[in-house]
């Protein structure tokens, strides 16, 4: 096809079907194929069928936007990464306590969903930030010892090892120095992704920031694995690098999404 033409590709992966839309010089072609496992195979199959129907080659595509349900499925099905949480000493239960404004506030028999990180996988570090800044600096050796504990801690009854770590320290949204140091030391010591709250959601309110950071750590390995496969297969097919839809309706490049995976929770829905 002549490069004077404009070809835009959109792919939405759902639980049952993968939908492909191609816009070639204003003419729309759509294709629907079954969603596969791994999902990247279904994506490329749909793209090839769509391109054939539109009379073009995958290498003719100028822009590739992609929506997916990898993150939301991991959360809904509870099959994300075996995750650990590191908090300020005394705050390991923030994730479980939550807030009072919960559904069924006056239902004495209401059951709360289990947190994504059980208490046995929540770790504390001595440090403290106040409104004025860092009061107690974190000790590097203590963090290294903590990393050793996390690295050898069984993830669950099946002795799965920790696959991802979330770090959410008190007031790190305003004074992230301690949290930055903890995250850096854990990344050096552990061969797993580390999500730091001041990077994921730099906002006040401990529960919301911690819960979001834990969710990020929980889905990051799945997102990294899927997007890595998709990127390789897209390049092999001659497609441009995909840009991934985020929860706000915008798109971002793969490296940006990998560094903040929780922003894709509403990518597909």
| Residues 95 and 155 both lie in one domain | yes
Distance (Å, rounded) from C-alpha 87 to C-alpha 155?
Answer: 18
Confidence band for 146, pLDDT divided at 50, 70 and 90: very high
Identify the residue with better confidence: 209 or 5. Answer: 209
Per-residue model confidence (pLDDT) at position 269? 62
Output the domain CATH number for residue 60.
3.30.420.40
Angle at 175 between CA 174 and CA 177, to 5 degrees: 150
Is the residue at 160 inside a domain? yes
pLDDT digits (tens, 9 = 90+) for 147-164: 999 987 655 555 578 999
Is the residue at 207 inside a domain? yes
Is the residue at 63 inside a domain? yes
What residue numbers bound the domain in which 116 lies? 81-219
- Tell me the average pLDDT of the chain: 92
Is the residue at 2 inside a domain? no
| Residues 215 and 227 both lie in one domain | no
197 pLDDT more than 80: yes
Is the residue at 190 inside a domain? yes
| Residues 55 and 87 both lie in one domain | no
| Residues 89 and 180 both lie in one domain | yes
| Residues 161 and 212 both lie in one domain | yes
Is the residue at 1 inside a domain? no
Per-residue model confidence (pLDDT) at position 110? 82
Per-residue model confidence (pLDDT) at position 151? 83
| Residues 192 and 215 both lie in one domain | yes
Per-residue model confidence (pLDDT) at position 3? 54
Mean pLDDT (whole number) for 51-76: 95
Element (H, E) at 11: strand 7-13
Distance (Å, rounded) from C-alpha 65 to C-alpha 114?
Answer: 35
| Residues 62 and 91 both lie in one domain | no
Closest CA to 80 of 142, 9, 164: 164
| Residues 109 and 182 both lie in one domain | yes
Work out how many domains the chain is built from and give that number. 2
| Residues 124 and 25 both lie in one domain | no
165 pLDDT more than 90: yes
| Residues 239 and 207 both lie in one domain | no
| Residues 132 and 192 both lie in one domain | yes
Distance (Å, rounded) from C-alpha 158 to C-alpha 169?
Answer: 29
Mean pLDDT (whole number) for 128-141: 94
| Residues 128 and 46 both lie in one domain | no
**Residues 83 and 218: beta-carbon distance below 8 Å:** yes
């Amino acid at each position: 096809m002549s490069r004077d033409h404009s070809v835009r590709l959109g792919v939405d992966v759902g639980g049952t079907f993968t939908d492909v839309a191609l816009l070639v010089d204003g003419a729309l072609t759509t294709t629907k194929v079954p969603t596969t496992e791994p999902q990247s195979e279904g994506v490329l199959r749909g793209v090839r069928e769509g391109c054939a129907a539109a009379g073009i080659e995958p290498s003719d595509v100028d822009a590739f936007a992609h929506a997916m349900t990898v993150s939301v499925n991991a959360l809904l099905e509870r099959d994300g990464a075996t995750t650990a949480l590191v908090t300020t000493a005394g705050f390991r239960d923030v994730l479980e306590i939550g807030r009072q404004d919960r559904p069924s506030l006056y239902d004495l028999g209401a059951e709360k969903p289990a947190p994504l990180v059980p208490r046995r996988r929540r770790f504390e570090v001595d440090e403290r930030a106040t409104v004025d800044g860092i009061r107690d600096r974190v000790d590097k050796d203590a963090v290294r010892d903590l990393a050793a504990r996390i690295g050898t801690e069984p993830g669950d009854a099946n002795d799965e090892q920790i696959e991802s770590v979330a770090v959410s320290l008190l007031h790190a949204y305003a004074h992230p120095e301690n949290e930055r140091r903890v995250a850096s030391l854990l990344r050096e010591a552990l061969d797993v992704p580390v999500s730091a709250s001041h990077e994921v959601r730099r906002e006040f309110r401990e529960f919301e920031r911690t819960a979001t950071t834990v969710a990020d750590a929980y889905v990051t390995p799945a997102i990294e694995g899927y997007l890595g496969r998709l990127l390789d297969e897209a390049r092999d097919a001659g497609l441009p690098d995909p840009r991934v839809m985020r929860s706000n309706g915008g798109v971002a490049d793969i490296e940006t999404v990998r560094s903040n995976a929780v922003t894709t929770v509403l990518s597909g829905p």
